[in-house]
Amino acid sequence: MHQTRGLPEQVSIECVGSDIFVVADGVKIAKRGHPGTQQAGTWVSLEPGYIVRDCADGDSIEVEYKAQRIH
């Protein structure tokens, strides 16, 4: 069995309390690391296959999805 998923159609950033999430098609795929932690200033993946990075312009993010194969 192969499971594949295309790139998300809708991507947004949501703030919940002190947490910041990247949401793709209604699923939280990454969380912003809290200040004072090893993950500070980075996006921590919450869903397998997704990588979220800040872009050099400082105003946008890049979402990458690497399809995982399940046999």
Residue 3, domain member (yes or no): no
Residue 19, domain member (yes or no): yes
Residue 70, domain member (yes or no): no
Residue 6, domain member (yes or no): no
41: closest CA among 50, 31, 49, 51? 31
The total of structural domains in the chain comes to: 1
Q: What is the pLDDT of residue 40?
A: 95
Residue 54, domain member (yes or no): yes
Mean pLDDT computed over 52-62: 92
Domain span at residue 38?
A: 11-65
**Sign of the dihedral through C-alpha 21, 67, 64, 53:** positive
pLDDT digits (tens, 9 = 90+) for 4-45: 456 678 999 999 999 999 999 999 999 999 999 999 999 999
Amino acid of residue 45 = S
Residue 2, domain member (yes or no): no
